[in-house]
Amino acid sequence: MQIPPEVRARLRSLRFGTRFLANGLGLGQHLGRSRGAGLEFEQYRSYEPGDEPRRVDWKLYARSDRFFVRDATRESPLCVWVLLDATASMAQADRSNPKWSKLAAAKQLCACLVEIAAAHGDAVGLIAITGGGIRLIPMGSGARHRDRLLLELEQIESAGAWPVEARLTSAWERIEPDSLVVVISDGFDALLPVFAARLAAARRQVISIGLVSREEREFPFVGGYVFRDPETGDECRVDAAAARTDYLARFSESRIDLRRRLGASGIPHVDHCIDEPADQPLRRLLGGSRWEQGSARAAPRRA
Amino acid sequence: MIALLAPLGLAALAALLVPLLVHLVRRSDEQVLPFAATRYLRERHHPRERLRLHEPLLLALRLLLIASLAVLLAIPAWRHKQAPAAPWVVVAPGVSAETARAAQPAALGEWHRLAPGFPPLAANAPSDTAAFSSLVRELDAQLPAGTPLTLIVPEELGGLDAERLALAHTVDWRVVGGASPRPAAPSADAAPLPLAVRYDAAGAAELHVARALAAAWAARGIPLALDIAPQDATLPAPPAWLIWLAGPLPPAVEDWARRGGRVLASRQVTDLGEAVITDDNGAAVLRARELGLGRSLSLAAPLQPAELAVLLQPEFPQTLFALLSAPSREPDRAAARDVAPRSFGSAPADPVWRLDAGVALWIAVLFLVERVFSTRRKVRA
């Protein structure tokens, strides 16, 4: 999966925020929520029985006659699961660029996420959900794992409709608590928000990117058309120009509804038009000050 | 001015319906498009069913093509509108200029002679009476419509043909005294008729029969000036008679005959002319042929009794004389008052150029353009 050079350049400034940290397993490059011994000063706290004597700040003891222990932030690794919707509706493409389907755009987003994770030593796994079943590439990190992921990504093809809940059990089992789940879909399947909400409720951090094609967003059709739903096969025979207003109203309403439903479960959601650069939704989801604790490193809070 | 010579051809314009129907029938082809967001569409707005024409430019081309074909069937022509010219007064041969001017109460316009090219009256034109009717018709076709035309003809009018004159112009037909000059013809008048006999080596054996024929005619009181000489001796000026005993007629002799000579030739291998005398088997013995003002009689056999049984018949010289002296033409003279031309008046005889070739070329170009348009890659919006 090719990432355009300018997008790749902009990816460098992106990283997964501390909110998504795994629970203190191993050493990573992210500022951890758990504190302890380490290089970066985080805070002072009062001595408790059991603390090692060498962690007591003796200079502070000399000034205040009380025992304080220096806490440092722990740098932790992050687990990122990319949940890719590969149902038949993801094959939708604009007629102006028929090869650039939503699935292709989603693959590029995946590749970007994998690159971001690889750049910061985070572990990435991929779950592609098609009508036929689940394709799962287990969690891993490093350059070799990244290459394997990108290779596997190429072979994913869209088919079928969103599977029933029971078939998603293996995905359930793999996604461990406190990992970050990035859902990339078109948001048309009603079951997907339900699945995402359940993940969020079970202590997984979920963020969602909804892909929209330009034709879906602007409906530039004129004349008689028979529109066919690729998943259900339903056909709708309309005069496009006349149906436009009604369609646009219902479509934007459905997008707002989707964002509201996800937001209710604490899942941030952005819509991404597939002919826009891939780093845009990532910047809005990852780059915002909402989760990125960049200031913590530069100016540590002092007690 | 463009005119249609066969206006019924425009009925082909009915074929204009065909492309119209073709372009209408195809109106309902709707595109089937896979569209993931179909669930947000409602079948409330059906495609409008109003009559629509697909590819209006191509339709216009096809209509134009068929209309052009219909015009081609109707035979378009360019009619050159001519302004009426000054009145013409045309004087037929046989009427002198003085007589003509006397017959005309007032000089109405240009004076011309009825001769090829219609020269002015003053010019000294050769008077050829042979084709009076033909010349009058030519004049009628040439003169712009509406030109007043006066024809001054002699009482005894020659050069007519079998068709009564019918002209587009209204003709003022004035008859004056006189007669059309007659073509020079042999006549049994006081001057003896020159009878030349030309022979070659083989023809020398036939000379005695030629002499006998001349004697037979002379015995009937026809004065003849007999001139017997070898074949390359000069011929008397026509009108004269010639008995040619020297094989095939050379062109010079035929030319001589055209100027009014009458030729009897033996030993002719020809199938030209009408068989006048046939033998018992139906083979032509004697053929007669008009040659210009003169006539030639061709005998298949040598002029010898042994070869030509018909020579022995007593009435043969008389038959031959009748054939040689008969008038060379169909009767072409009549009283001028009786042959005044009819006028069919209404139709102006403007010159007409047919435009078929141009229209056909135009249709070919249109057809090519139509093909290019209808087979080009369809780019849909």
A124-128, A137-141, A298-302, B170-174 — which one is most confidently predicted on average? A124-128
Mean pLDDT to the nearest integer, B32-59: 79
Separation of alpha carbons B7 and B72, rounded Å: 10
Q: What's the mean pLDDT when you consider all of chain A?
A: 83
In Å, what is the CA distance from B101 to each residue of A29, B87, B147? 133, 15, 20
Q: What's the mean pLDDT when you consider all of chain B?
A: 81
A62-66, A284-288, B156-160 — which one is most confidently predicted on average? A62-66
Separation of alpha carbons B39 and A247, rounded Å: 9
Report the residue of chain B nearest A216, measured CA to CA: B37
Give residue-wise pLDDT tens across range B90-108. Answer: 888 888 877 887 776 655 6
Q: Which amino acid is at A7?
A: V
Set of chain B residues whose Cβ sits within 8 Å of the Cβ of A254: 40
Look at residue A80 and give its three-state secondary structure: strand
Distance to chain A for B374, nearest Cα, Å: 21
Give the model's pLDDT for residue B70.
94
Residue found by looking up tokens 């740098």 in the block: A75
Number of Cβ within a 10 Å radius of residue A115: 20
Least confident of A85-94, A96-105, B131-140: B131-140
Domains, chain A, ordered by start = 5-18+77-302 (3.40.50.410), 33-75 (no CATH)
Separation of alpha carbons B234 and A12, rounded Å: 125
pTM of the model: 0.47
Set of chain B residues whose Cβ sits within 8 Å of the Cβ of A102: 36
Mean pLDDT to the nearest integer, A99-104: 92
Helices (H), chain B: 17-25, 56-73, 97-103, 132-142, 207-219, 251-258, 316-325, 356-375
Closest in B31, B40, B381 to A226, CB measured = B31
Name the pairing type of β-strands B342-343 and B166-167.
parallel
Residue found by looking up tokens 């403007």 in the block: B350
Give the model's pLDDT for residue A24.
45
Q: Kindly report the backbone phi and psi dihedral angles of residue A51, in degrees, each rounded to the nearest multiple of 5, phi listed first.
A: -65, 145
Mean pLDDT to the nearest integer, B245-273: 85
Residue found by looking up tokens 């006998």 in the block: B212
For CA atoms A33, A36, A37, A41, give the dihedral sign. positive
Nearest to A268 by CA among A210, A229, A213: A210
Give the model's pLDDT for residue B378.
64
| B329: confidence class by pLDDT, cuts 50, 70, 90 | low
User: Is residue B331's pLDDT more than 60?
Assistant: yes
Mean pLDDT to the nearest integer, B271-281: 81
| B45: confidence class by pLDDT, cuts 50, 70, 90 | confident
Separation of alpha carbons B198 and B196, rounded Å: 6
For chain B, which residues lie within 8 Å of any Cβ of chain A, measuring from their own Cβ?
28, 30-48, 381
Question: Which residue has better confidence, A72 or B129?
Answer: A72
Cβ separation of A228 and B39 shorter than 8 Å?
Answer: no
Beta bridge partners of residue A135, listed in sequence order: A128
Residue found by looking up tokens 């078939």 in the block: A167
Question: Which residue has better confidence, A51 or B75?
Answer: B75
Set of chain A residues whose Cβ sits within 8 Å of the Cβ of B28: 224
Give the model's pLDDT for residue A196.
92
The pair of structure tokens assigned to B333 is: 């003279």
Cβ separation of A239 and B45 shorter than 8 Å?
Answer: yes
Q: What's the CA dihedral at B111, B115, B116, B122 to 10 degrees? A: -40
Mean pLDDT to the nearest integer, B355-364: 93
User: Is residue A294's pLDDT more than 50?
Assistant: no
| A108: confidence class by pLDDT, cuts 50, 70, 90 | very high
Set of chain B residues whose Cβ sits within 8 Å of the Cβ of A227: 33-35, 38, 41
Q: Kindly report the backbone phi and psi dihedral angles of residue A241, in degrees, each rounded to the nearest multiple of 5, phi listed first.
A: -65, -40
Separation of alpha carbons B308 and B302, rounded Å: 7
User: Is residue B315's pLDDT more than 90?
Assistant: no
The pair of structure tokens assigned to A266 is: 């604490």
Cβ separation of B35 and A227 shorter than 8 Å?
Answer: yes
Burial (CB count <10 Å: 0-12, 13-18, 19+), residue A6: exposed
Q: Provide the 8-state DSSP code for A21.
A: B
The pair of structure tokens assigned to A157 is: 């093809």
| A20: confidence class by pLDDT, cuts 50, 70, 90 | low
| B321: confidence class by pLDDT, cuts 50, 70, 90 | confident
Q: Kindly report the backbone phi and psi dihedral angles of residue B40, in degrees, each rounded to the nearest multiple of 5, phi listed first.
A: -90, 0
Report the residue of chain B nearest A235, measured CA to CA: B38
The answer to whether the CB of B347 falls within 8 A of the CB of B168 is: yes
Question: Which residue has better confidence, B328 or A124?
Answer: A124
